[in-house]
């Protein structure tokens, strides 16, 4: 089992404490309002390195949107510096996708940078999720 993947590790998670950098959702309005995410130890690691190429909007043709909804998200793909699971994320045909959504059943879902970087390198726009509950 990878570091940080046990129930005890998740319960003791402190976003301000140095640790293995991970991606994580915002689960409450209080978390969102506090903007504490931007002061977390993990924030600098969660910024995409690959920028989407400039070129305007989406093409004027039918487009394809892919929504990632994998058991609540933030599984092995939450480790922003990689992990032992080589299959933590994979999309093989990015050229068929115009827009990608990473979904996690939480209030605010911010995609792990591995997904955003892969999408941007292939010219795919990425959308975060805000659930109105």
Rounded CA separation 66/82 (Å): 23
List, for residues 76-115, the tens digit of each pLDDT value.
999 998 888 888 878 899 999 999 999 999 999 999 999 9
Task: Output the pLDDT for position 11.
Answer: 55
List, for residues 1-26, the tens digit of each pLDDT value.
344 455 445 557 888 888 999 999 99
Task: Output the pLDDT for position 97.
Answer: 95
Task: Output the pLDDT for position 52.
Answer: 86
Rounded CA separation 32/89 (Å): 26
Structure token pair of residue 72: 């609540």
List, for residues 46-72, the tens digit of each pLDDT value.
999 998 888 767 778 899 999 998 887
Phi, then psi, of 25 in degrees rounded to 5: -85, 165
For residues 68 and 102, is the Cβ–Cβ distance under 8 A? yes
């Amino acid at each position: 089992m990878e570091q940080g993947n046990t129930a005890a590790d998740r319960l003791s998670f402190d976003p301000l404490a140095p640790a293995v950098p991970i991606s994580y959702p915002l689960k409450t309005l209080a978390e969102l309002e506090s903007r504490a995410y931007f002061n977390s130890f993990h924030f600098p690691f969660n910024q995409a390195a690959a920028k989407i190429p400039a070129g305007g909007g989406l093409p004027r043709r039918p487009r394809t949107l892919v929504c990632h909804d994998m058991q609540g998200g933030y599984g092995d793909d939450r480790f922003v510096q990689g992990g032992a699971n080589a299959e933590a994320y994979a999309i093989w045909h990015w050229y068929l996708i115009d827009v990608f959504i990473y979904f996690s059943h939480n209030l605010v879902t911010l995609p792990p940078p591995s997904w955003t970087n892969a999408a941007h390198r292939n010219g795919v726009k990425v959308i975060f999720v805000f659930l109105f509950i």
